Amino acid sequence: MRRGGPEVNSPGAPVPLPVVVPDRGDPAGAIAAAAARCSNAGRWGADDVLGTLNFLTPDKRVEGAALVRRGVTFSLAQSFDMNGPQKGWRRRTNPVHTMLDTGVDAERANQGFPHGFGGADDVVFMPLQASTQWDGLGHIFDHGMAYNGRRAGEVVTSEGDLVTGIQTVGGLIAGRGVLLDVGRSVGTDGELPDGFAIITAHLEQTIHAQGASAAVGRGDLLVIRTGRLARARREGWGDYAGGASPGLSFTTADWLFEREIAAIATDTWGFEVRPNEFDAAFQPLHQVAIPNMGLFLGEMWDLEELSADCAVDGQWDFFLTAAPIPVTGAVGAPVNPVAVK
């Protein structure tokens, strides 16, 4: 048996109960049990393709919009360029940006336009999950099954995700965002070490420390900062994209399910703790969250400026808009999330 990270002992905070991670030698049993407890299959009908985004109602968007007070904006996207985190894991590379027409071409008047007209044009080649992005519902399967009880092979083929492609949610992800800065609340110097498993007690401790504006509930867009990106920028990318990392413990699956959040994003590459908490398991929380819960996961978000501002003004909720690029049939897509306070 193994505990999910150190206990939290902040002055004035309730002492969290220890949370025990299930037997690390039985990942199959733990995943199956959590999948059964946290399943949203059929909840919104057999044809549903939105999963937990069903919780993000028009009323929740109005609630989010009402949080704009100062008109200050924060982009939560990392850069999309060759100086990025990717180094080939799962054949992912950093974006390659190439010019198709340039100012040099215009000066030489060889673009074929009349009367001195000139312009520039460019193209980008990139994996859709090379930088800040959303995981779509067709990204992860559980025993050959996709979200809402569909066979994986009938959902995603060589033509892409034919059912839950990321374009189905292209105009939906906007509402009340909530930042839980677990790195600041629990970590050392604002950061959590690699392998740190964020358990439910850490989430609750952070909510308690941040106050009423950090309350998390139905339809919210939850954003969690670990400080991992800050360390990567200070020390170099290293294994940021694919290696050891702090992240959510497998034991938070029930908390995420019961809170009925619409989506969740972190500043790490894989959302959950790495190494994972079981022997011979790969991303077990993904396996529960996406194909069973129908939960949208965001990864590699840049939360540094936003977290600093929230710490100053004490307001941890904001209006968040985070529409993915609606690439037809994609199982994930880049996003430039914008928080407005």
**Residue ranges of domains in the chain:** 2-84+127-340, 97-125
Fold (topology level) of 2-84+127-340:
Glucose Oxidase; domain 1 (3.50.30)
Residues 6+ apart with CB under 8 A from 140: 283, 286, 287, 289, 290, 291
**Angle value at C-alpha 283, between 331 and 2, nearest 5 degrees:** 160
**Angle value at C-alpha 180, between 176 and 181, nearest 5 degrees:** 140
Give 295-322 pLDDT, tens digit per residue: 999 999 999 999 999 999 999 999 999 9
> Could you write out the DSSP letters of every residue in 65-89?
HTT-SS--EEE-PPP-SSSSS-SSG
Provide the residue-wise pLDDT of the chain in tens; the chain has 341 residues.
Answer: 233 333 333 333 433 444 455 678 899 999 999 999 999 999 999 999 999 999 999 999 999 999 999 999 999 999 999 998 988 777 889 999 999 988 898 899 988 889 999 899 899 999 999 999 999 999 999 999 999 999 999 999 999 999 999 999 999 999 999 999 999 999 999 999 999 999 999 999 999 999 999 999 999 999 999 999 999 999 999 999 999 999 999 999 999 999 999 999 999 999 999 999 998 899 999 999 999 999 999 999 999 999 999 999 999 999 999 999 999 999 999 999 999 99
At 89 the pLDDT is: 76
